[in-house]
Amino acid sequence: MSAPALVFILIATLAVATLGLRRRAYLPFAIAGISCALIGLFVLYAPLDTAFSLFGLPLRLESTWQILGRASNLDAQDRAAVGFLFLVGALFFSVGWAAAPGRSFVPTGLIALGLLAGALTIEPFLFAAIFLELAAMACVLILIPPGSRSERGELNLLVLYTMAMMAILFTGWLLENVGVTSVTPELALRVILLLGLGFVILLFVPPFHYWLPNAAQRVNPFSLAFVAIILQSSGMFLLLRFLDNFVWMRADPRISTAIQAAGVWMILFGTLLAITQISFLKFAVYVLLADIGVSLLAIDSELATGTEIAIGMTSVRVISLGLWGLGAALMSKTGYSSGAGRKAPLATAVGLMGVMSLAGFPLTAGFPWRWTLLTQLPEASRFGALLMVFSTAAILWAIVRWARVFFELGSAESDVDEDLPPTLALTLMASACLLLGIFPQLAIPWVSANLSP
């Protein structure tokens, strides 16, 4: 039996089952949450390519699945990425019912996760581009549930991913068939430019982020958080895979300069636009961009642990973004207006805490990895370190301003009943964020051991 085939069958079955159960309130979320957690743990820990016994039955799980002459391969690096994706799914599906993201959220979310897992495991890797495009299509359906208004913002996601697909497909051919390396400088430059175009789209580097703020204004924040985290983290894992597989790229100073420039640009752009926003939803989107920029600085920091820090930041981003998405979704009835915090105090506080964690504020989950990066950055990266501190301070100032707006006496649109199930979900997520911020030693060794390449 092949492990990738088993995962594929499980995801297909779950997608069909949850599609059938989509009219039930909690059941599809519970089934998908538990199943994704089990699949994630299976991908991370199952013994592959070795014989073992389960309840007395001799078994052997292969790490490779041959399909249509191509291979889906779960090697050590891919296991970390795929396991991570399913654990993200487990978290978002488990608490998703509280945010009411729409009936199609679970089945299309599962399909998107399956396609992204396919993108991360398929060989040769150029096929990944097509799987990413298919996953983007599923994400459009997540963002626009049945009956919602379809807008150009979500279609822009599709347009951008189609362009990224074409760029990566062409690059894949140059790398795998033509054998481009640093000894063919003209072709190497074409590869770098095309690959750069593909990855700036996958990593939401401005101006290729423009679908995000457009979508943020209209779609359920929880759905947007889910789509943003699965697409961006898949892009990050693919970038790391490229850099590991093609050593000449990692050694090329132009690549290093481009990653560093993208990181600096994202931090500056994200921070400056975040602090000038008058929309809370767009504010969080720009803070997310600044956070992704810090991850790019970590990749390019020339630290031995740079990749590990980038993966760690991606991991805690799941908690931060989930927290913001859940809080913001439950705040929606207040219209995010002045006094919203008095109508829905817990949701508002949790939404703000999510943004604080995204900005790397102390005592939140986002802080420990940023602190690790800040303390390890070499002298040559002093500008990057200063920029990180400036970003956190500026965003904190903006958060204080938002808190004053939300918690001052005002007229929000309606009273919001904070029912027990959403309250429970908010409390659990907020506790996890604080726990990981105060006791980072609980998670850092696990992330280093299991998710880092």
Site of interaction with other proteins (CB under 8 A): 68-70, 126-127, 130, 133-134, 137, 140-141, 144-153, 155-156, 158-159, 162, 165-166, 169-170, 173, 177, 190, 210, 214
Closest CB 137 distance from other proteins, rounded Å = 5
Closest CB 422 distance from other proteins, rounded Å = 26
Nearer to other proteins, 177 or 441 (CB): 177
User: What is the token pair recorded at 432?
Assistant: 């996890």
Neighbouring CB atoms inside 10 A of 344's CB total 26
Closest CB 72 distance from other proteins, rounded Å = 12
Closest CB 408 distance from other proteins, rounded Å = 30
Nearer to other proteins, 169 or 268 (CB): 169
Burial zone of 445 (CB within 10 Å; 0-12 exposed, 13-18 middle, 19+ buried): exposed
Nearer to other proteins, 158 or 394 (CB): 158
> In 174-220, which ranges are continuous DSSP H helix?
185-202, 211-216
What is the DSSP pairing of strand 51-54 with strand 122-123? unpaired
Question: Which phi and psi (to 5°) does residue 238 adopt?
Answer: -65, -40
Buried b vs exposed e over 357-374: b needs ≥16 C-beta within 10 Å? Answer: bbbbbeebbbbbbbebbb
For 125, residues 6+ apart whose C-beta sits below 8 A from its C-beta are: 172, 238, 241, 242, 245
Nearer to other proteins, 68 or 409 (CB): 68
Neighbouring CB atoms inside 10 A of 156's CB total 17
Closest CB 155 distance from other proteins, rounded Å = 5
User: What is the token pair recorded at 227?
Assistant: 């789509």
* DSSP 3-state of 66: strand
What are the beta bridge partners of residue 87?
Answer: none
Nearer to other proteins, 83 or 206 (CB): 206
Closest CB 269 distance from other proteins, rounded Å = 17
Closest CB 187 distance from other proteins, rounded Å = 9
Nearer to other proteins, 186 or 379 (CB): 186
Nearer to other proteins, 150 or 411 (CB): 150
What are the beta bridge partners of residue 59?
Answer: 52
User: What is the token pair recorded at 331?
Assistant: 């705040």
